[in-house]
Amino acid sequence: MAFETEMEAEQVIEQFVKRASDLKGSSLVGLIIEATSHSSLFAFSEILDIPSVLELHGTEYSEYIDLLRLFAHGTWRDYKSNAGFLPELVPDQVLKLKQLSILTLAEENKDLSYYQLMQELDISNIQELEDFLINECINVGYMKTGGQVGAIFTKALSGDQGVVRGKLNQLQKCFEVQFAVGRDLRPGQLASLIQTLSNWLSTSDKIVLMIKEKIDWVDKMTELNKKHQKEVKEMIEVSKKIDQQLPSIETEPLGEMGEIDMLYIAGLMTSGEYGARMKREAIINTGMRCGDPFGVTCVGGQIFVHLTLDFRKFSSAGIKAHCFFI
């Protein structure tokens, strides 16, 4: 696990810091060589901050503090450019610095081309590069799975996690980084990191606001839907009530009939206009004036107009009437 690797590195750093605090001058040279060769140590800023180490600057051992700075922030290419001013590296230091170089490249790009890696690490062919990545970076505690197109490495034996985890894409000839151990912050990098985190925080705030707006919209639509369902239910209940009343108020036809529609649903006129219209239709269709009152009922935003008739008058006139009481 990445957490376990970081915990182990932290413990190693603490040990070196404690030891370095008790040493001075030439006695620090051996400790610096040991620290820069250690397989689990990839951060060196805490050692650099120790007063006795800083005192090496300007002395005959100042090249060792420069070497420590190189391992904290530099790469194999940087060493090659300044080899004449630095101590010669032992094999473990060469391996360490090449591992650190991959970590620096992984900070900038998660797809590292084989060509770029061979240039940065002074490796002459792809097979040597893949062996280096597998055995020295991904770790011997991992096994290869997958075919030639893409090899993925998973943990097979007990051991360290390694400095990187990823996929060798042999078709695209690149190493796809999924995880990399962090390095020390370079001088001036802290401000850039703070800006990156601030941008991330601002973007996160905007996303949270968008999510809240969507939630509010969903809540509003839910309430509108509930209101609509309630209105539909009310209309259904009204219809059921009307259907139940129809059989009890219908008279038998006595001949050629005219029909008066006693129920009219609309929102295009006032109740007064409705009453006048319905009375006129009643007079025209029955030949009789009906003095019974009209009623208006509003349910769920719809207007129901209803008329109560004297069925004795209509029966004598041979009229079939429908009267709905709501």
pLDDT digits (tens, 9 = 90+) for 200-233: 999 999 999 999 999 999 999 999 999 999 888 8
How many whole angstroms separate alpha carbon 252 and alpha carbon 98?
Answer: 106
Most confident of 126-130, 262-266, 271-275: 126-130
Supply angle C-alpha 115, 120, 122, rounded to 5.
90
Whether 322 has a pLDDT exceeding 90, the answer reads no
Residue 196 has a pLDDT of 86
Q: Is the pLDDT higher at 265 or at 49?
A: 49
pTM for this structure?
0.58
pLDDT confidence bin for 40, thresholds 50/70/90: confident
Q: Is the pLDDT higher at 201 or at 10?
A: 201
Residue 320 has a pLDDT of 39
Q: Show the tokens assigned to 177.
A: 């980084």
Name the residue type at position 202: S
Averaged over 18-23, what is the pLDDT? 90
Buried residues in 20-49 as b, exposed as e (16+ CB within 10 A): beebeeeebbebbbebbbbeebbbbebbbe
Q: Is the pLDDT higher at 242 or at 166?
A: 166
